Each structure stands twice: as C-alpha cells, then as structure tokens.
Amino acid sequence: MLVKLKRLAEGWFESSARSLLKAGLTPNMATIIGLALAAASAYLYFRGAESFTLTILASILLLASGFFDAVDGVMARVSGGGTKIGSLLDSVLDRYGDALVIFGITLGYIEVELLGLPMGFWGLAALFGSILVSYVRAKGESLGLTTAGIGFAERPERILLVAASGFFLRPDIGILIIAFLANLTAIQRFLYLLRNI
C-alpha cells in the first residue's frame, strides 16, 4: 500500500534527497542515520513504558528513521545510482533497525499480556514476521520475481503502525498487530512466488 503512496510522493522525496545531498550527506550516511534514529527510538520505547513524553518522542524518532529509510534510495538514484555496498548496507541495517525497535518495545512491556499470551511471544512473532517479509522478497528477487507492493505489512507500514500505536501510548498493541500482519504478508508473498515461478 505505502509503496504505491511512495510513488505518488516521489517528487517530495526527490526534493528532500537533493537537499540532503547538497548538505553533504551521502546515501550511506542517510542509511546509518536511519539506524541511529531507530536505535534511539527503541531505547526510548524501552525506557518510556510508563512515560507519556518518552513514548511520544520514541514515535517521532521512529518516523524520522522511516523518512531516512525512504529517502536513502532516492538519494542514491539522484546522485547517479546506488552501489552494491550501499544496497547491502541498507538491507542489513534496516533489519537491525526493525529488530531493535521490536526488542525495545517487547522488553519495555515484558510484563504485559495480550490475548492471553505474554509480550515476549508477540515480540518474537513480530520479529520472525518482519524478517520473513524481507527474506521472501529477497528470495523472490533472486528468482527474478518482485514482491514489492504485495502484502499488508511491508516496512513502511510496520513503522507507521508502531509509531501510531506509540502516539496512543500503546506501542505494545502495535507489536501485536505486526505479529499478525507481518507473518500474513510473508505467507502472501510466499504464495505469490509459488504461483509465479
């Protein structure tokens, strides 16, 4: 869903990318900034389980991380095309960012039970689903097929879900939703690849 919206907002992202390049940032620096913001967000979610201010700030930082995640690829294209190292860095650091945020929220809300199951269960389920969404996409690309736009919970959607739930002071609910939707997305992509190989 957000991949389609991202295409509509491409002009804005391109303008932002050019501004960041003029400011001296490289695409790889933007990727690293995105990870740093995700790590800071994860820490604040962990520390802010009972703090309105920290939870809201964590959500703002997570959205900023998502912005840099969206704009680093545009920066690479605008500056003449990405590199293999940049692509590798982006993929790996995005997974670390996902994991850190999920861990931060899970640990911060570790005593919470949702739907009769402990938060640790939902955190692991969200982590597995998030990793599998990316893995199935990568495997599809290695087979010459793309799964971009397939499924309900690609990375931009997951970031927005967690941030939105954080603004309502319940990022644990965001993790619960991601646990369902990310695994559903991974299954959707897997079935799509099976049909199209």
Q: Tell me, yes or no, if 94 is annotated catalytic.
A: yes
Helix (H) or strand (E) holding 113: strand 113-114
* Residue 78: how many other CB atoms lie within 10 Å: 17
Dihedral of alpha carbons 171, 175, 178, 180, sign: negative
Q: Which of 72, 94, 98, 172 is flagged as catalytic?
A: 94
In a 13 Å sphere around the CA of 78, the CA atoms on its Cβ side amount to: 21
For residue 176, give the nearest of 136, 108, 127 by alpha carbon: 127
CA-derived radius of gyration, the chain? 17
C-alpha 144, offset from chain centre: 24
- Which active-site residues does the annotation give? 94
